[in-house]
Amino acid sequence: MKAIELNNYGGPEQLHLKEVEKPVPGDREVLVAVHAVSVNDWDWGLMKGDFVNRLLNGISKPKRRILGSDIAGRVEAVGKMVTRFKVGDEVYGDLSGTWGGFAEYVCANENALGFKPPGMTFEQAAAIPQAGMLAVQGLIDVGRVKSGDKILINGAGGGVGTFALQILKSYDVSVTVVDTAEKLEMLRALGAVRGIDYRREDFTAGEERYDLILDTKTNRSVFRYLRVLAKGGRYVTVGGSIPRLLQAFVCGPLISLFTSKKVLIVALKANKDLDFMSRLFESGQVVPVIGGPYRLEEVPEAFRIFGRGEHRGKMVIQVRR
C-alpha cells in the first residue's frame, strides 16, 4: 500500500510517499481502508521531534514512521475478538498513540473508533476527532461553560477554535476570538462577536474581562491571562508552549487556592465525545471547517501550509474517493 513515511525528525522535506506492507489487524483490531485523514498539531510536533515527542517516539530516530491520527474510512477486516464492528462499517476516530493514518490502510483498536453518521463525508469525519474532543472537553468538562459567560478563544482559527465556536451556539454567550486578521471574518461567520488580530493587539493588556478563556497557543505567562479573567473566571489551556504549560501546571493549584480564579489544563480523552459531535453534526449545529482536501502525495505540502499557519480549521487529506 501507499503511505507517507517520516525518514527522520525535521521538516516536511522528511515526509515521503512510499510503498509499504499493508498492516494486519490483531485480535482486537480492525483494518480500516482510509478515505480521509487530517493534520494535527501533534503530527507537526512528532515530525519536528520536539523533546516530549522524542520521549514518545524515539530519542534519535522516529520509531513509528507513519504519522496521522484522525482518520475516517471503511472497515475492511476485523480481528477475531472484535465485537463492535463488521466489514463495511464506516468509522472515524483518533488513533494517537499508534498513528499510521497517512496511508491507504491502518489498523486500529476497536475502542479508538466510532460510527460515522451516514450524512457526514469522510473528509468531515476526519476533521473532527482530536480538535473536536479538545473543544468539547475544554469548554464543557473542564471550562464548565454556562449561559451568560463572556468568553475569549486564543488561537481560534484552527481546528479547536472553529469547533468551539460552533459548540457555543448552544449557549447564550458572547465570544471574542484572537487570531490573524485574515481569519477573523470567517470566525465572525461562525458566531464570534469580536475579533482581535494578535499581530496588532495584545488582549491581555486590554480592559475587557472574561469569564472563560480557552487557549490553543498558551504563549504568555499565566499571570498575563489572570489579569483579564473576571472574578470567578476560568483559564483553560488545551496546549501550546511547553514552558508556559509547565508554569500553568505548577501555579494553577496555588492560584485556585488563593484567588477566585482557576487555571486548568485539558488532558485529552481521545474519542470520548465522538457520539456527541456526531449528534451536533446531524442536528446541523456543527459543520467542520476544512482546508483542502489534499491528496496523499500532497501531505508534505499540506504540512508546509500548516507550519506557516495559513490553514483555516482542519487540513484534510483525501486518501481515496
Ligand X SMILES: NC(=O)c1ccc[n+]([C@@H]2O[C@H](COP(=O)([O-])OP(=O)(O)OC[C@H]3O[C@@H](n4cnc5c(N)ncnc54)[C@H](OP(=O)(O)O)[C@@H]3O)[C@@H](O)[C@H]2O)c1
Q: Which residues bind ligand X (CB under 6 A)?
A: 41-42, 130-131, 134, 154-155, 157-161, 178-180, 183, 198, 216-217, 219, 238-240, 266-268, 309
> Residue 46 or residue 296: which is nearer to ligand X going by CB?
46
> Residue 43 or residue 149: which is nearer to ligand X going by CB?
43
- DSSP of 19-47, one letter per residue? E-PPP---TTEEEEEEEEEE--HHHHHHH
Q: Are 301 and 292 in contact (CB under 8 A)?
A: no
β-pairing, 90-94 vs 114-115, is: antiparallel
Phi/psi of residue 74, nearest 5 degrees: -120, 135
Kindly state the smallest distance separating residue 132's Cβ from ligand X, in Å.
10
> Residue 157 or residue 292: which is nearer to ligand X going by CB?
157
Kindly state the smallest distance separating residue 177's Cβ from ligand X, in Å.
9
Kindly state the smallest distance separating residue 86's Cβ from ligand X, in Å.
30
> Residue 216 or residue 318: which is nearer to ligand X going by CB?
216
Q: Please list, residue by residue across 40-68, b when 16 or more beta carbons sit within 10 angstroms of its beta carbon and e when fewer do.
A: bbbbbbbbebeeebbeebeeeebeebbbb
> Residue 160 or residue 280: which is nearer to ligand X going by CB?
160
Q: Are 213 and 264 in contact (CB under 8 A)?
A: no
> Residue 49 or residue 158: which is nearer to ligand X going by CB?
158
> Residue 269 or residue 279: which is nearer to ligand X going by CB?
269
> What residues pair up with 262 in beta bridges, in sequence order?
234
Q: Please count the other Cβ atoms lying within 10 Å of the Cβ belonging to residue 242.
A: 13
Kindly state the smallest distance separating residue 28's Cβ from ligand X, in Å.
24
Q: Are 266 and 134 in contact (CB under 8 A)?
A: yes
Nearest to 101 by CA among 71, 78, 75: 71
Kindly state the smallest distance separating residue 114's Cβ from ligand X, in Å.
18
Kindly state the smallest distance separating residue 261's Cβ from ligand X, in Å.
20
Q: Are 148 and 173 in contact (CB under 8 A)?
A: yes
Alpha-carbon distances of 311 from 7, 74, 108, 161, 183, rounded to whole Å: 24, 27, 28, 12, 9
Kindly state the smallest distance separating residue 146's Cβ from ligand X, in Å.
22
Q: Are 15 and 300 in contact (CB under 8 A)?
A: yes
